Amino acid sequence: MTTARPFFAALLAAGFAAILGGCSVVSFPPQTRGNKIDPEMLSQLVPGTSSRADATSLLGSPTAKGTFDDNTWIYISEVTTPVIAGRLKVHEQNVVTLTFDQGGVLRGIDKKNQDDSAPVSMAGGATPSPGSSANILQELLGNVGRFSAAPTSAAAANSNGIGGAPVGGGF
Helix (H, G, I), strand (E, B) or coil at 108: strand
The DSSP letter of residue 170 is -
Residues found in the chain: 171
> How far apart are the C-alpha atoms of 30 and 94, rounded to whole Å?
15
Helix (H) or strand (E) segment spanning residue 140: helix 136-141
Q: From 63, 157, 73, select the one nearest 109 (Cα to Cα).
A: 73
Please determine, for residue 59, whether its predicted confidence score (pLDDT) is greater than 90.
yes
Q: What is the pLDDT of residues 105-134, one digit of tens each?
A: 999 999 999 888 888 888 888 877 777 777
The DSSP letter of residue 31 is E
Q: Which of 7-11, 15-19, 81-85, 92-96 has the highest mean pLDDT?
A: 92-96
Residue with more model confidence, 130 or 1: 130
Taking phi first (over 0 means left), then psi (-120 to 50 degrees means alpha), and beta for anything else, what does residue 104 get?
A: left
> How far apart are the C-alpha atoms of 72 and 54, rounded to whole Å?
15
At residue 83, the pLDDT reads 83
At residue 49, the pLDDT reads 94
Please determine, for residue 165, whether its predicted confidence score (pLDDT) is greater than 70.
no
CB neighbourhood size of 70 (10 A): 10
Supply the mean pLDDT for the chain.
Answer: 80
> How far apart are the C-alpha atoms of 123 and 121, rounded to whole Å?
6
Q: Which of 50-54, 83-87, 153-157 has the highest mean pLDDT?
A: 50-54
Confidence of residue 9 (pLDDT cuts 50, 70, 90): confident
